[in-house]
Amino acid sequence: MGDGPVPPDLVSIASDGLRAAIHPLGAELWSLRDMQDRELMTDADPAYWTGRAPLLFPIVGRLRHDRYRLEGREYAMEKHGFARRQQFELTQSADGRATFSLCANATTRAQYPFEFRLDMAFELKGAELRKTATVANQDDRDMPFSFGFHPAFAWPLPFGGAAGEHEIHFEKAEPAPIRRIGVEPGLIAPAPRPSPVRGRTLRPEYALFEEDAIIWDDLASRQLTWGVPGQTRLDIAFPDTPWLGIWQIPGARYLCIEPWAGMADPAGYDGDFTDKPGMMTLAPGESRSFHMYVGLRENGKPG
């Protein structure tokens, strides 16, 4: 988990194939290791980025001017929302499973005037990590929100092969154009760009991220593999999130593979919070879950 001190309040879970550690601050996955003690997550080098796997709620990306309008009022909220900076309560811990919960409080209500509950469950089954985020509306009115995962996986992975040999292999061909960040900091540029995917394969290079994230808002796939062909790789599935961001700070030893249900404001956006792209709505008493699965694909298996 890097060279720095290990926080004393990490919650550890294990199976016969993987070990994970989660920090209650943000319910953030800090470490995922195989049974040979090889780290599959970022080294969190402070020269680049100390994040590991923040949860993005109730927005994904940045709001224009870091503010939004709702029901005639204006609210301030930082990029990716507040969940990643909130202390979650450990509500369940058993063999191979842990669940963390966040409910509305004075800090969240000042930014987001809704009663909600966000549960984040982690479960290890053999060589697979299953993550389930469940957003529940505990208010008496409709609740708009977005949600995203933001895990940073090791690049290179510890199974062999140089960084330049790593590939993302999508479930399906991905010819659709991508989105990039524009001249307004953190906001989506209006003009799409040609896809860097060749058929089903993307071989990332540091230069790809000099303009920030690569973003798909027309994604055919709901799963992919990450790693070096012929070596053990990561199988990553995200059945409930239609968009995807891939990001790093050029030269860092991680690659963020980010399934999203939501996106930053488009450049120049001046509309209501409920009308921005990617917003979902829960009626009072409703909930919605988002799943992400990360497993080991052993050397020699196709995909």
CA angle 91, 94, 99 (to 5 degrees): 35
The string of pLDDT tens digits covering residues 242-291 is 999 999 999 999 999 999 999 999 999 999 999 999 999 999 999 999 99
7 vs 22: CA distance, rounded Å: 10
Beta-bridged to residue 154, according to DSSP, are 254
pLDDT value at residue 245: 98
Residue 209 has pLDDT above 60, yes or no: yes
Mean per-residue pLDDT for 178-185? 94
Residue 157 has pLDDT above 70, yes or no: yes
pTM for the complete prediction? Answer: 0.95
151 vs 137: CA distance, rounded Å: 25
Q: Which residues of 20-56 are buried (b: 16+ CB within 10 A; e: fewer)?
A: bbbbbbbbbbbbbbbeeeebbbbbbbeebbebbbbbb
Residue 5 has pLDDT above 80, yes or no: no
The string of pLDDT tens digits covering residues 268-279 is 999 999 999 999
Cα 211 to its chain centre, rounded Å, is 19
Residue 73 has pLDDT above 50, yes or no: yes
The string of pLDDT tens digits covering residues 45-54 is 999 999 999 9
pLDDT value at residue 301: 62
Question: Using an 8 Å Cβ cutoff, are 73 and 96 in contact?
Answer: no
218 vs 152: CA distance, rounded Å: 22
Residue 8 has pLDDT above 80, yes or no: no
pLDDT value at residue 32: 98
DSSP class of residue 162 equals -
Full set of structural domains in the chain with CATH: 11-297 (2.70.98.10)
Question: Using an 8 Å Cβ cutoff, are 262 and 56 in contact?
Answer: yes
CA angle 21, 24, 30 (to 5 degrees): 30
